[in-house]
Amino acid sequence: MKTTRRDFIKISSIGAGTLAVTSPVMNFITNPSGDDNHVDETNSKRYPTYCEICFWKCAGWTYTKENGDLWKITGNEDDLHSNGRFCPRGTGGVGMYNDPDRLQTPLIRVEENGKQVFKEASWDEALDFIANKMKAVGKEFGNECVALFTHGSGGKFFGNVIKAFGSNSISAPSYAQCRGPREVGFIATFGQGIGSPEPTDIQDSKCLVLIGSHIGENMHNGQVQEFSKLIDKKGTVITVDPRFSTAASKSKYWLPIKPATDLALLLAWIHVIINEDLYDKAYVEKYTYGFEELKAHVQQNTPEWAYGITTIEPHVIRETAREMAAASPAVIIHPGRHVTWYGDDTQRLRAVAILNAILGSWGRRGGFYFPEGIKLKNMPIPKYPKPKKTWKDAHPGKFKLADLALASGICDATIPTPDESCSYKVWIVNGTNLTSTLPNRKNTIAAIEALELMVVVDTMPAEITGYADVVLPECTYLERYDMMRTSKHKSPSIALRMPAAEPKFNTKPAWWIAKELANKLGLGDYVPYNDITELLDWQLKKVDSSLEEMKKIGVMKLEREFDDMFITEGEDVEFNTNTGKIELYSTSLEEEGFDPLPKYTAHPEPAEGFYRLNYGRAPMHTFTRTINNPNLSDLMDENSLWVNPKTAKEWELENGQEVWLKNQDNIISSFSIKIRITERIRWDSVYMVHGFGQTDKRLSRAYGKGVNDTELISHVAYDPIMGGTGMRSNFVTFLTEKPKTEVQA
């Protein structure tokens, strides 16, 4: 086997904890009220928290039994994200605390008898090692060569240390691998992005259009609840998806579009709405810029033209456009969330924004509302040094409209090229499993190989930890404080997360790890508290509350400062764009040399015998982070490959048969996946749930179960506007015999 400086180390298991006997997820499903007759509630205690199993951040309560064992998690009734109910994943969060495979103590990579292994270390040793290396590398290459990749609450603490050290390269995969293009597309149009939670007033809507967004499988709690209310009251749902998703099964119209052609459908809808005079004239006239240009631009985009591209029949395009217009302005063309599909994603999302604009749904009841949040004060700290180079220098002259750092951009810029010395030498990776998260894994590994130091902060022996020089075990969200949740919503609110149990093993919370690291780097002034509870209490007192009060109520709802959730009749509104108007014709895109109006372009098609690799979510899992969770893997422990009966017949595939997959670049999946023959997928595509096929044996439940879509996503279609990584132009074929390359168990 080839030995590189950075061999992938399988972290050895360090003792085993106990496994919860009852599954809280099953409790949730069979007993949604959350009552459990077997436990005497009088002696149970409850602690406020907000969930970290996904990024909807529902606020709830963690209950412990008399003996201190964590028992169950429920939603907080006062919380707008959860409305008192957790989704199955959130309820199963206790499994994360109980998982015996958890990381237990800091680890440092060392060489023993010519072999690389992880040595257990004390916190002091591990943090000294990191601080010394950071200082040395900073001295040689500049402090800007440190980058942070983060997803989740710890990011605020590590971000502070990185900025104090002198770098602003702080990136999250939730931008260039997720919702970046929609933010850029909406900012270009309305001068304002979407953010999270999406400010869609689904419960008051009369018509919801889902383009790909598979609500119901995408389990973002409050959104799913509003979606089911809309269905109960017989609101119109139009789902555009090459796959018959759960949402499609609840819809009045399912448009099984040919993959990669949505922009043609969107332009045809705009054509119909304008040419049949169905748009909101008063709104368009008062608030928008460039209507005449738009009208001229879409004249060629007839439903007949779109039919040839999308396979959606012209009468269906017309009928659905009329449905939307009939509901206007209480209509939502949902912007989706994971939108990095084909590389022209910002333009597709521009078309979504334009469609919403001409239907007058932006800032209207039943459309999009203007959310409000609260900003808590921070304790005073010294000014951050100004970095000599910024994350923008990672891709000079490219991706000009990226308003946040690109995880993929920093990764690419880490790989040295002959004419350019590399920019990044140290990565701190917190709560993101980069080798499963960034497309083109070979590229990710090449970047990691070029590093002087990679520190990974995680709770699990996730795949990325196997490449680290130092692994720092964070305790789970159930065992720690974090910053207050302050996300925007219909009304502002704050939510507290506090520990319901002591951290297990030798694990620590992110705030503590970051503070200790700051001290060791001589940057202690930037963390002006001894314990995070001091900071929280200080912040809360500034808004006339206190930590003591928040411990009792968990969530505090505040009044909106202004009554401006929706635009009122005839109100004058200035939008944050160059023209002060909603820009149907984008002057900011034009300035940067991009199409000011979205144009359809064709994308690559699969070669003979290959199928487009499509992927998505399952209701009981979040990416790779839940795959080993004892409670959630009980509900689903492997993914399957959806294959159309026509394709199955051609290949003589049977239900349940195991196949390996090979992609267009001859990459073969590490493991096999079971075939699921279903009419619910088009013949030209196959589908799997993301997160499975994990290759680290220490994930005792997840190892080798199913296939990891990321392995097969070697082709990236970059969005030239903002650097999003389009991941859906990859194609696979079936291998029915076990390939020699399979990872050996």
Ligand X SMILES: Nc1nc2c(c(=O)[nH]1)N[C@H]1C(S)=C(S)[C@@H](COP(=O)(O)OP(=O)(O)OC[C@H]3O[C@@H](n4cnc5c(=O)[nH]c(N)nc54)[C@H](O)[C@@H]3O)O[C@H]1N2
Residues that bind ligand SF4 (CB under 6 A): 51, 53-54, 56-58, 82, 86-87, 89-90, 219-221
- Residue 181 as a binder of ligand X (CB under 6 A): the answer is no
Give the relative orientation of helices 180-190 and 345-358 as an angle to the nearest 10 degrees.
40
Q: Select from ligand X, ligand SF4, Mo ion, none the partner in contact with residue 199, using the beta carbon and a kind-dependent cut-off of 5 to 8 Å.
A: none
Asked if residues 371 and 199 have their Cβ atoms less than 8 Å apart, the reply is yes
Q: What minimum distance in Å lies between the beta carbon of 151 and Mo ion?
A: 9
| Number of residue whose CB is nearest Mo ion | 178
Site string for ligand X, 20-59 (x = CB under 6 A): --------------------------------x-xx----
What does the per-residue mask of binding to ligand X show for 127-146, with x meaning CB under 6 A?
--------------------
Shortest CB 215 distance to ligand X, Å:
6
| Helix (H) or strand (E) run with residue 614 in it | strand 611-616
86 contact choice in ligand X, Mo ion, ligand SF4, none (CB below 5 to 8 Å, kind-dependent): ligand SF4
259 binds, among Mo ion, ligand X, ligand SF4, none (CB under 5 to 8 A by kind): ligand X
Residue 220: count of CB within 10 angstroms of its CB: 21
Q: Report the residue from 163, 337, 662, 676 that binds ligand X according to the rule CB under 6 A.
A: 337
Under rule CB under 6 A, residue 178 binds ligand X: yes
466 binds ligand X (CB under 6 A): no
Residue closer to ligand X, measured from CB, 341 or 734: 341
| Residues 577-616 as x/- pattern, contact with ligand X by CB under 6 A | -------------------------------------xxx
CA distances for 640 relative to 17, 192, 530, 610, angstroms: 30, 39, 49, 18
How many other CB atoms are there within 10 angstroms of residue 439's CB atom?
22
Helix (H, G, I), strand (E, B) or coil at 22: coil
Position 240 contacts ligand X (CB under 6 A): yes
How many whole angstroms separate alpha carbon 223 and alpha carbon 361? 18
Q: Which is nearer to ligand X, 556 or 686 (CB)?
A: 686
Report how far residue 588's alpha carbon sits from residue 302's, in angstroms, rounded to the nearest whole number: 27
Distance in Å, CB of 240 to ligand X, minimum: 4
Concatenated DSSP letters of 435-504: HHHSS-HHHHHHHHHT-SEEEEEESS--GGGGG-SEEEEBPPGGG---PPB---BSS-EEE----SSPPP
Is the CB of residue 11 less than 8 Å from the CB of residue 118?
yes
Give CA–CA dist 580/522, Å, rounded: 46
* Binding site partner of 57, from ligand X, ligand SF4, Mo ion, none, Cβ cut-off 5-8 A by kind: ligand SF4
Q: For the beta carbon of residue 700, count every other beta carbon within 10 angstroms.
A: 16
Handedness of CA 217, 223, 226, 230 (dihedral sign): negative
Under the binding rule (CB under 6 A), the answer on residue 539 touching ligand X is no
Beta-carbon contacts of 235 under 8 Å, excluding residues fewer than 6 positions away, are 205, 206, 207, 208
From the list Mo ion, ligand SF4, ligand X, none, which binds 414 (C-beta under 5 to 8 Å, kind-based)?
none
By CB under 6 A, residue 211 contacts ligand X: yes
Please identify, using beta-carbon distances, which residue of 54 and 472 lies nearer to ligand SF4: 54
Which residues, 6+ apart, have CB-to-CB distance to 710 below 8 Å? 435, 436, 437, 438, 439, 441, 690
Tell me if 166 sits within 8 A of 491, measured CB to CB.
no
Q: Which residues bind ligand X (CB under 6 A)?
A: 52, 54-55, 151-152, 154, 173-174, 177-178, 211-214, 218-220, 240-243, 245, 257, 259-260, 262, 336-339, 341, 430-433, 436-437, 457-460, 462, 474, 476-477, 614-617, 619, 621-625, 690, 709-710, 713, 727-728
